[in-house]
């Protein structure tokens, strides 16, 4: 693998020798971004789950069959609500049909992961995939946070491949490259700037997901040296997960500090919180499980962590096949109306993590 464009310099993510992310100033800020705030996000204390007993190291796995069943149970919801969002039928949209950073792209990604794992996807998913790609290909429509999840899913193969090809899905690579900032990174958009972390961290997360998405389509992007990667500190689980995936572009050994950092903050119930010390949720657990399934390697500690995470997700799945994630756990603007977003997003991340770990 060639030395690529992503590296960390002075604690900042840099792409190809362009300026660092820290050079982005308020004059380039998105209208949907909250004002820059470098202070740590407030913590939400962990609370007893009640429905999930602590999982000790070495506990038996809940079983890959149960994990598969959990994925299969969630797919109809992700498809149906993805279609509803695409058509503007979810009340919070106010009739504004679109492809957001949560609904639709994550329907495509989650179903692509399920297909990769050998599971059947709904008959309507190829059509939703085609419509999503065509929508994102319209002038002025794409955002990195909307395009990257579609590219991250293995849509070019499996059940969604024909729809991907017919809609010229490969053109989204050019779209994503075109959204790169002068800094060399990508700006967080949509829901990301309102999440409980500094905007600078959201920008780093958006950049890492974008680079990972591009690499999956022939645009290599990896950190140059392990030592260039900053330590996690008070970073969110999503940042740690994305960092682990970036580091594994170098080698499994390079990813080990990041994957160990993830395991260190895994809760006793087997799940992961938004940030260390908080209560577990399906959104963050799916992210950590996805990263460890790819970057963790074949060490006993990682296998145990995957087993515990699968058990957590299987035990917390609702009877309707979904996972409820309160928006207040993740968003600074969390409220009951916004819960519909994180209910969907959390369910999608749970499916992505479970499917990748099968």
Cα(44)–Cα(332) distance, integer angstroms: 11
Average pLDDT over residues 205-230: 71
The answer, yes or no, to whether residue 276 has pLDDT greater than 60, is yes
> Do 303 and 259 form a contact (C-beta atoms < 8 A)?
no
Determine how many CB atoms are found less than 10 A away from the CB of residue 229: 23
Query: For 236-264, what is each residue's pLDDT tens digit?
Result: 999 999 999 999 887 888 888 889 999 99
- What is the full DSSP assignment across 150-178? HHHS-TTSGGGHHHHHHTTTTHHHHHHHH
Provide the pLDDT confidence category of residue 184 given band limits of 50, 70 and 90: confident
Selection from 162-166, 231-235, 339-343 with the highest mean pLDDT: 339-343
Please state the domain extents for the chain. Answer: 63-222+235-357
Phi–psi pair at 165, nearest 5 degrees: -70, -45
> Do 179 and 144 form a contact (C-beta atoms < 8 A)?
yes
pLDDT of residue 354: 98
DSSP 195: B
With the C-alpha atoms ordered 312, 212, 75, 195, is the resulting torsion angle positive or negative? positive
Assign 20 to helix, strand or coil: coil
Assign 87 to helix, strand or coil: coil
Give the N- to C-terminal CA distance of the chain in Å, as an integer. Answer: 27
pLDDT of residue 57: 42
Query: For 74-110, what is each residue's pLDDT tens digit?
Result: 999 999 999 999 999 999 999 988 888 899 999 999 9
Cα(349)–Cα(342) distance, integer angstroms: 10
With the C-alpha atoms ordered 88, 91, 95, 96, is the resulting torsion angle positive or negative? negative
Angle value at C-alpha 195, between 226 and 39, nearest 5 degrees: 70
Provide the pLDDT confidence category of residue 118 given band limits of 50, 70 and 90: very high
Domain formed by 63-222+235-357, architecture: Alpha/alpha barrel (1.50)
Average pLDDT over residues 324-352: 95
pLDDT of residue 141: 62
Query: For 20-34, what is each residue's pLDDT tens digit?
Result: 333 333 333 333 333
pLDDT of residue 37: 40
The answer, yes or no, to whether residue 299 has pLDDT greater than 50, is yes
Could you tell me what percent of the chain has a pLDDT over 90?
56
Average pLDDT over residues 36-53: 42
Average pLDDT over residues 315-332: 97
DSSP 326: -
Query: Half-sphere exposure of 52 toward its Cβ, with a 13 Å CA cutoff?
Result: 28
User: Is 292 or 26 the better-scoring residue by pLDDT?
Assistant: 292
Angle value at C-alpha 302, between 299 and 306, nearest 5 degrees: 140
């Amino acid at each position: 693998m060639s030395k690529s464009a992503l590296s960390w310099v002075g604690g900042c993510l840099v792409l190809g020798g362009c300026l660092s992310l820290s050079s982005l100033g308020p004059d380039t800020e998105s209208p949907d971004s909250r004002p820059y705030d470098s202070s740590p996000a407030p913590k939400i204390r962990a609370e007893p789950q009640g429905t999930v007993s602590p999982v000790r190291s070495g506990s038996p796995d809940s079983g890959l069959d149960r994990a598969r069943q959990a994925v299969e149970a969630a797919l109809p919801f992700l498809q149906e609500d993805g279609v509803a969002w695409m058509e503007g039928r979810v009340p919070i949209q106010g009739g504004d049909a679109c492809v957001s950073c949560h609904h639709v792209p994550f329907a495509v990604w989650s179903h692509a992961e399920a297909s990769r794992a050998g599971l059947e996807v709904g008959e309507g998913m190829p059509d939703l995939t085609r419509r999503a790609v065509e929508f994102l290909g319209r002038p002025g429509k794409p955002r990195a946070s909307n395009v990257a999840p579609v590219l991250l899913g293995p849509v070019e193969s499996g059940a969604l491949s024909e729809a991907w090809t017919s809609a010229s899905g490969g053109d989204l690579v050019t779209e994503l490259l075109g959204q790169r900032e002068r800094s060399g990174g990508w700006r967080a958009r949509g829901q990301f700037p309102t999440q409980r972390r500094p905007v600078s961290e959201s920008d780093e997360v958006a950049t890492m997901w974008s680079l990972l998405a591009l690499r999956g389509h022939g645009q290599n992007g990896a950190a140059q040296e392990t030592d260039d990667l900053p330590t996690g500190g008070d970073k969110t689980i999503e940042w740690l997960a994305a960092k682990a995936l970036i580091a594994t572009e170098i080698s499994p050994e390079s990813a080990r500090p990041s994957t160990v950092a993830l395991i260190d903050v895994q809760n006793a119930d087997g799940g992961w919180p938004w940030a260390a010390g908080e209560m577990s949720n399906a959104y963050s657990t799916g992210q950590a499980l996805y990263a460890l399934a790819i970057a963790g390697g074949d060490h006993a500690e990682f296998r145990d962590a995957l087993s515990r995470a699968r058990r957590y997700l299987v035990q917390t799945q609702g009877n309707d096949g979904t996972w409820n994630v309160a928006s207040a756990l993740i968003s600074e603007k969390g409220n009951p109306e916004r819960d519909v977003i994180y209910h969907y997003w959390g369910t999608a991340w749970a499916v992505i993590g479970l499917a990748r770990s099968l």
